[in-house]
Amino acid sequence: MKSPILIVSFMVLFSCSKDKVIDNQAFTCTDEVLFAQEIEPLINQYCIGCHSAGSSSGGYNLEGHSNIANQSQQILGAMQADGFQLMPIGGPALNDTLIQRFRCWIEQGKLDN
Ligand code: HEC
């Protein structure tokens, strides 16, 4: 009897694909996100190569606090492919934890902390 195993496999597959749906409310920000320790290094690692003052792809320069803060909704939208083209361009998307830390930073007031 192999069919129960098949059914379970399908259930696992479906539950995994469901997890991919963006659910920002499911993640709560418990601690403070620090711009200097998390946000700027994140942008510098994954985005700055194509979005600096010298090379602002698509017109986006993401260097420094004010640029990141002023364009935070577009950045989050691009990280989640929500209303914007997925970034980093061509994927893969950043992991959910990094994206949610960025969202928490916005929610906490986009501080230069
Ligand atoms: C390898 C180069 C590259 C990297 C890395 C990269 N981008 Fe981009 N990005 C581009 C290019 C090229 C465009 C313009 C795309 C177009 O106009 O079709 C763009 C466009 C964008 C846009 C506008 C998208 C839209 O739909 O209007 C945003 C926002 C953006 N990038 C944010 C980011 C963020 C945030 C990161 C890091 C997580 C990132 N990018 C990483 C090359 C890159």
Q: How confident is the model at residue 16 (pLDDT cuts 50, 70, 90)?
A: very low
- pLDDT value at position 28? 84
- Give yes or no for residue 4 having a pLDDT over 70: no
The answer to whether the CB of 106 falls within 8 A of the CB of 76 is yes
Ligand 1 midpoint to CA 15 (Å)? 30
Distance between CA 38 and CA 86 in Å, rounded? 21
Distance between CA 11 and CA 96 in Å, rounded? 22
Q: How confident is the model at residue 38 (pLDDT cuts 50, 70, 90)?
A: very high
- Give yes or no for residue 44 having a pLDDT over 70: yes
> Closest residue (by CA) to atom 10 of ligand 1?
57
The answer to whether the CB of 89 falls within 8 A of the CB of 50 is yes
Mutate which of 61, 67, 84, 85 for ligand 1 pocket (most atoms within 8 A of beta carbon) = 85
Q: Residue 40: CB partners within 8 Å, gap ≥ 6? A: 64, 65, 68
